[in-house]
Amino acid sequence: ALAADAVKVGLILPMTGPFASTGRQVEAGAKLYMAEHGDEVAGHKIELILRDDTANAEQTRRIAQELVTREKVQVLAGFGHTPLAMAAAPLATQGKVPMIVMAAGTSVITEKSPFIVRSSFTLPQVTEPLAKWAKDNKIEKVVTLVADYAPGLDAEKAFSDTFTKAGGQIVESIRVPLANPDFAPFLQRVRDAKPDAVFSFVPSGVGSALMKQFDDRGLAQAGIRLIATGDVTDDDLLNKMGKAALGTITTHHYSAAHDSPENKAFVKAFEAANGGMRPNFMAVGGYDGMALIYEALKKTGGDAKGEALVNAMKGLSWTSVRGPVSIDPETRDIVQTVYFREVKEQDGQLWNVEFDKVEAVKDPVKAAK
């Protein structure tokens, strides 16, 4: 039989520059999925075309355009930061090309095109449970400290709204620049405000700088706790953060320490394929994003037309290495378990050890509409 045409997946990621760790993790996750499941689905060869946007939105837009019009990719994927996903969204709509957001986490992204399906998470989804936990655990006054761009503002709002509704008090809301942040002056302000805790979100790759400054400024000694989304204690960096990270409470959808047979096999295979690199939540976004593409193609019997593929993705559910997940057919966001974790040392390494969870969490911003 004649082989059917290849299905081309254009993977756009920051592979160089300050956010290259995100690109490296997503790419490795996507490639591991293909290595484990083969590069043929429903009679089509799957061809991954990787492009580096250096985390520059103008580059993302230009590359997406070129991949759709010249390379004729049937799927766009990747998107390491929110502004990069936003820049590509109109091209997904115009080209009727499914766009798998594997990394970016601002709630509104999926509303920017009916062709967007998300395999990562949303900041409000992981932040609201933490705000409730804080109020239930004797934290009354909080300073929020977030990266000053869309996902940071999502995290700030989700935390502040939920925490104040529960009776807590936000004493100050601090936003730090995304590029090369110097946390020292901001953390001095936190110290002066004397809250019970600082709540923080910074994107993957930045957490160790925050942790170091938090330690250097002696905030823990001043009785101020650090609570954060899991982006801060990112598994890519955590093991090098040192003792300062111990005891940090975070909420997130994936920990490399997640105790399931699926995850144990995943971490082992990922480390073996990537020189010992530990997978983080970005790797899982890439891995599950490929799962979405493969499962949708199986469902359509190999029909890779945009509408057919997106429709096939709606309502898909499976056991991810993070736990049970499904694609909300209404919003095309991922519904998943959110875990409470504490940084602990086990066998000489630092891990985000899960101690509680909330199941089947939808993006709360869209659920409230």
Q: Which residues in this chain contact ligand DHB in the complex, by CB under 6 A?
A: 22, 81-82, 104-106, 151, 203-204, 231
Nearer CB in complex with ligand DHB: 106/263: 106
Taking the least distance from each CB to ligand DHB, the nearer of 254 and 294 is 254
Least distance CB 106 / ligand DHB (angstroms): 5
Nearer to ligand DHB, 145 or 312 (CB): 145
* Minimum gap (Å) between residue 85 Cβ and ligand DHB: 7
In this structure, are residues 302 and 42 in contact, taking their beta carbons and an 8 Å threshold? Answer: yes
Instruction: Give the C-alpha separation, 165 to 66, whole Å.
Output: 47
Q: How far is CA 160 from CA 109, 125, 191, 193, 203, in A?
A: 21, 14, 19, 16, 19
Q: Which residue is nearest to ligand DHB (CB)?
A: 203
Residue with smaller CB distance to ligand DHB, 46 or 126: 126
Q: Tell me whether strands 141-147 and 197-201 are parallel, antiparallel or unpaired.
A: parallel
* Closest distance of CB 84 from ligand DHB, Å: 8
Of 188, 249, 242, 165, the closest CA to residue 211 belongs to 242
| Comparison of 20 and 220: residue with beta carbon closer to ligand DHB | 20
Smallest separation (angstroms) from ligand DHB to the CB of 57: 11
CA separation (Å) from 193 to 132, 162, 174, 351? 22, 21, 11, 30
Interatomic CA distance for residues 134 and 147, integer angstroms: 20
Comparing CA positions, the residue from 16, 23, 74, 78 lying closest to residue 47 is 74
CB-nearer residue toward ligand DHB: 199 or 294 = 199
Q: Would the CA dihedral through 16, 334, 118, 198 be positive or negative?
A: negative
Nearest to 55 by CA among 135, 120, 149: 149
Nearer to ligand DHB, 287 or 294 (CB): 287
Longest dimension (CA), the chain: 73
Instruction: In angstroms, give the least distance from the CB of 81 to ligand DHB.
Output: 4
Q: How far is the CB of 151 from ligand DHB (least distance, A)?
A: 4
Which residue in 235, 322, 325 sits closest to 271, CA to CA?
235
**To the nearest whole angstrom, how small is the minimum distance from the Cβ of residue 13 to ligand DHB?**
11
